[in-house]
Amino acid sequence: MHRLKQYKGELMLTLCAVIWGTSLVPQKLGTLYLGPFSFGAARFLTGAIIFFPLSLILKRISKEERKPFLQKDLVIGGGLCGIAMFSGAYFQQLGLADTTVGKTGFITAMYIVIIPLIGLFFHRKTEMMTWVSIALAAVGLYFLCISENFSISKGDFYVFIGSLFWAIQITLVDTYSKKTDSLELVLVEFVVAGLLSLFCAFQMESPNLQSLTASIGPILYTGIMVVGVAYTFQALGQKTVSPAIAGLILSTESLFGVISGALMFQEVMSLREICGCVLMFSALMLTQIKLPVPQKLLPEAAPAASESSSTPGKQLQTPATQSVKSE
């Protein structure tokens, strides 16, 4: 029975990765009709409407005891997470207009490697394997984005800036999900991101009913499937799957991005870019590997102390252990 639940969880996470990876295709189609702020407003507000009833259902079927929390933490945390999500989505959508779906998927996935670097500012320990992953990802990013004449496209640069904000967003969620109800935090986050996008759309763009109608398909897919369905699958799937396995599964979203870009837009990568993707994907895999500590290096302790220390300490969480991430 336990193994069956794990299989179901792995299937949900795989579907989640497929949805996230393929969502870059409708996002790119959306750039043909709507500006990044207008598209963000439509998708996040649609997603918030869809996620609200789903969050109520998840709360009802959840057997976990709800902990009390301060509304102030929910407002502040949701606001900060929403700002980071708004920024990440804006730069990603802006970059998609000038780069390929496949490259966007791999560059965006860099947030998995960037998160440990952010953790250094909070005095969080970074393992040696993580540093190897960061170095490998940097080399891969160079091959993928930097041309032979040492130039980078505007689209690739914007997408990379977006990945920085995704890493900040996930770090903030990691902090505030421990202080508040995670589902309510997600809902506030989507509303804040949607309202900020809506305000900027009317200030800096000229959204109209015609362009909104033309992009209704991409909006509904990213709003319903990415926000509603994918987040629900992730929340349910991670309950029965270990963080390491979940991380490996969710990291494949970059591969599905390349596949969907090739199928829908006939995107073809050069040998140099393929090498960059291989190096970056290897770096994503390495971030999930935990090297065992040799027994002779472990300090001896009294039985009581060793028993109490057998519980794993708090580790910097990666996107695999988060209930929030948006493409």
The pLDDT > 90 percentage for the chain reads 39
Confidence at residue 64, expressed as pLDDT on a 0 to 100 scale: 66
Q: What are 31's two structure tokens?
A: 């750039």
Predicted local confidence at residue 123, as pLDDT? 76
For the whole model, what pTM was predicted? 0.81
pLDDT for residue 10: 87
Contacts of 104 (CB under 8 A, 6+ apart): 24, 28, 92, 95, 96, 155, 159, 257
Q: How confident is the model at residue 244 (pLDDT cuts 50, 70, 90)?
A: low
Residue 319 near residue 112 (C-beta atoms within 8 A): yes
Average pLDDT over all residues of the chain: 82
Domain boundaries, the chain: 23-290
Q: Higher-confidence residue: 327 or 312?
A: 327
Residues 256-272: tens digit of each pLDDT:
998 999 999 999 888 98
Q: How many CA atoms does the CB half-sphere of 248 hold within 13 Å?
A: 11
Which residue type is seen at 46? Answer: T
